[in-house]
Chain A
Amino acid sequence: MSSPGVTESQDAEQPARAAGPEQPHESTRRTGGGDLSTRALSLLQTGVGRNAGLVVALLLLCVVGAFTAGDRFASTDNALTILRLAATIGVVSIGMTFVITGGGIDLSVGAILALSSVWCTTLATQVIAEDTHWIVMAGVALLVGIGCGLVNGVLISYGRVVPFIATLAMLASARGLAEIISLRRTQIVTVPGFRDFFTARLLGVEVQVWLFALVAVIGWVVLNRTTFGRRTIAVGGNPEAARLAGINVRRHTVLLYVLVGVCCAIAALMLVARTTTGSSTHGTLYELDAIAAVVIGGTLLSGGRGTIVGTVFGVLIFTTLTNVFTLNNRSISEQSLLKGAIIVVAVLLQQRLANRKSSE
């Protein structure tokens, strides 16, 4: 009953990412084992160790890239290409990290992105935006994201629909609605200033990439340094205990889905700027890419443990992989195969760690 309270006080003293995994399941905390293997294991279990694995994986990819494609890989332009590709899916993945850490899942992210992109580029919206400011489009996109998240969250926490099913329904409906609104046509952005804002460069890097960085930093702070973040971890780890500890689990769950909705809307705006279009086909299968990035990052799919840094690395690993494959003239199919293998290996490693931990 008092455990979340204890957890919170412990968190404050802990290095942020280490706090995540240690959370609610545990009454006993390990303080580093006696023999070497336990010590190595405990290092792996801390955020630093786990992220070290991801850093190694990313570095390995970069070495392969530099080795096979040389200067074509190791150039500033190419790095920016990777980051631009990573930005959209990255923002979605940050939101997904919160939902998964909170014990849920959101399969509708790609569909919400599509709906936001379509709604903020309708003729009516654009006419208003042309008369006033492109920010109107951003507002519309955010409202759509919040609305969809709200529906998801309310269905899940008050309607007691399983997250998988509720968001699966949203996946179907949001894309359907996007098709109805756009008549399955591509809507072209004519509002001046909109694209310029997102593609403008700041210190040589596009605003859309900075936005990704900003969302990641805010996400990290919120998850690791705020009550909201600690509650998310508590709710994901053991909702009953969290409820008993006085957390309004239902309301918190709704907020989590709204948060991922907002992330989808931001990603939608980035994609609209990148393509100058809104379309019901935008964001197809982003849910899988986002979940994959979150999972290989080290966030537990069962909730209760989440890492933003891991997710960012997960996204970068997959986008760098794509880039290396493109540079080497390799097919998407081979890449998908490798992607699957990476996910399996990452999860197997995680499970091993989790098992060892629980058997201690």
Chain B
Amino acid sequence: MSLRSPLARAPRARRIGAGAVTALAAVSLAACTSNTPSTENEDASGQQAQNVVANDEPGDEVVIGFSAPAADHGWMGSITTSAKKAAEQYSDVDLRVAEGTNDVNLQISQVETFINDGVDAIVLLPFDGAAMTPVAMKAMEAGIPVINVDREFDDPNAARVTVLGDNYGMGVSAGTYICSQLEGQSDAVVAEIAGIDSLPLTQDRSQGFEDALKSCGLDVDNRVAADFTVEGGERAASNLLQAAPKIDAIWNHDDDQGVGVLAAIQNANRDEFFMVGGAGSANAMRSIKEGGSVLQATVIYPSTQAADGIKLARLLAQEKALGDLVEVEVPREVQLYAPVVTKENVDQFLPTAFES
């Protein structure tokens, strides 16, 4: 940690201090405060910390433009707030936030404004990846590196770096965890509450889940789809509980809709099963920490990926390399891991979880 760090981190550290974070190693603290998912740093040990410090040293002043869709979901809200927090960490970053819109026309004009301004880098979570491709291309052609977060452009040349979550991996993590919990019960009833079914991300999650269950001889017995909202989750779960009189395990794709799912479970007075969540909201994690609920675990889809985007944008603009890699240049693509959060490791993930 550099001399600057304690000062810069003081407010955050206080906030986190309430938790059991103090018990964690210095590396983990660095992970929390730097807004990168801890998994990236876990296996990195001391060397990573050194590299982070080297890169964290103030460099050239850089202007980063940031645009994301409207915060109509806890996860999306956290995308913007964690990106802002990541930028606040650095005295050399001037973050311009063109906030929250689901209108591609408007989001395009926001990016055009960044291009006019001649910002040093643009971090973009598009409302619609394909629709934002032309303007991202325009930025790249103007010599401004674009960091594409979460929703991919349809042309790889439109982004210098792409930061992605792992939807398929989420399904695999959830399935593998359920397999380990139901070991040996090949007749166990597994249910799945998906998000919006027509979205590729939902299909990827379900595919991963199915594949992982298959490897231990299980399959999805009951499957319903909701729509990422509390209300939709409640409706879907009520139907599911009606349809399946006995369940052993449920995977619910999304913790925001999980609030509704848990309400439905409570209304139906059911507790013969355990549930695994998805996305990783602070709500869900607190409930996992307390115990006593059917919610035993959740699988993370990092809401801090735009924050990673900001960090990478800064490195790019300052022509620095990514610590811990031999490469001189920042990689082309970073795909984040989808870890399972249980009572045992929840403290490690709680600080970066999103509030729904």
Q: Does B82 contact A (CB under 8 A)?
A: no
Q: Does A46 contact B (CB under 8 A)?
A: no
**How distant is A326 from chain B, measured CB to nearest CB, in Å?**
5
- Give per-residue flags for B165-188: 1 if the beta carbon is below 8 A from chain A beta carbons, else 0: 000000000000000000000000
Tell me, in angstroms, the Cα distance from A185 to B96 when the chains sit together.
30
Could you tell me if A271 and B105 are in contact, using CB atoms closer than 8 angstroms?
yes
Measured between beta carbons, the chain B residues less than 8 angstroms from A307 are: none
Measured between beta carbons, the chain A residues less than 8 angstroms from B321 are: none
Measured between beta carbons, the chain B residues less than 8 angstroms from A184 are: 196, 198-199
Q: Does B54 contact A (CB under 8 A)?
A: no
**How distant is A192 from chain B, measured CB to nearest CB, in Å?**
14
Could you tell me if B100 and A331 are in contact, using CB atoms closer than 8 angstroms?
yes
Could you tell me if A186 and B131 are in contact, using CB atoms closer than 8 angstroms?
yes
Tell me, in angstroms, the Cα distance from A12 to B87 when the chains sit together.
62
Q: Does A50 contact B (CB under 8 A)?
A: no
Count residues of chain B with CB under 8 A from any CB of chain A.
33
Prevailing SS type, chain B contact patch: helix
**Within the complex, which residue of B100, B113, B130, B200 is in contact with A332, where a contact is CB–CB below 8 Å?**
B100
**Within the complex, which residue of B99, B112, B113, B132 is in contact with A275, where a contact is CB–CB below 8 Å?**
B132
Tell me, in angstroms, the Cα distance from A256 to B313 when the chains sit together.
50
Measured between beta carbons, the chain B residues less than 8 angstroms from A81 are: 109, 112-113, 116
Could you tell me if B133 and A276 are in contact, using CB atoms closer than 8 angstroms?
yes
- Give per-residue flags for B123-163: 1 if the beta carbon is below 8 A from chain A beta carbons, else 0: 00001111111100000000000000000001000000000
Contact residues of A between 176 and 192, Cβ < 8 Å to B: 179, 183-186, 188
Tell me, in angstroms, the Cα distance from A92 to B131 when the chains sit together.
20
Measured between beta carbons, the chain A residues less than 8 angstroms from B115 are: 77
Report the nearest B residue to A286, measured CB to CB: B103
Could you tell me if A323 and B103 are in contact, using CB atoms closer than 8 angstroms?
no
Could you tell me if B99 and A332 are in contact, using CB atoms closer than 8 angstroms?
yes
Report the nearest A residue to B70, measured CB to CB: A332
Could you tell me if A275 and B101 are in contact, using CB atoms closer than 8 angstroms?
no
**How distant is B73 from chain A, measured CB to nearest CB, in Å?**
15
Q: Does A238 contact B (CB under 8 A)?
A: no
Measured between beta carbons, the chain B residues less than 8 angstroms from A327 are: 113, 117
**Within the complex, which residue of B102, B112, B154, B199 is in contact with A188, where a contact is CB–CB below 8 Å?**
B154
Report the nearest A residue to B101, measured CB to CB: A332
**How distant is B51 from chain A, measured CB to nearest CB, in Å?**
31
Q: Does B108 contact A (CB under 8 A)?
A: yes
Q: Does A78 contact B (CB under 8 A)?
A: yes
**How distant is B104 from chain A, measured CB to nearest CB, in Å?**
5
Contact residues of A between 254 and 284, Cβ < 8 Å to B: 271, 274-277, 279, 281-282, 284
**How distant is B118 from chain A, measured CB to nearest CB, in Å?**
9
- Give per-residue flags for A329-347: 1 if the beta carbon is below 8 A from chain B beta carbons, else 0: 1111100000000000000
Q: Does A1 contact B (CB under 8 A)?
A: no
Q: Does A84 contact B (CB under 8 A)?
A: yes
Measured between beta carbons, the chain A residues less than 8 angstroms from B98 are: 326
**How distant is A250 from chain B, measured CB to nearest CB, in Å?**
35
Q: Can you list 25 A-B pairs with a CB-CB distance of less than 8 A?
A: A77-B115, A84-B108, A85-B105, A88-B105, A184-B198, A186-B130, A188-B130, A271-B105, A275-B105, A275-B131, A276-B130, A276-B134, A277-B104, A279-B131, A281-B102, A281-B104, A285-B103, A319-B109, A326-B98, A326-B113, A327-B113, A330-B99, A331-B97, A332-B70, A333-B99
The list of the 5 closest CB pairs from A to B, nearest first, reads: A275-B131, A85-B109, A184-B198, A77-B116, A186-B130
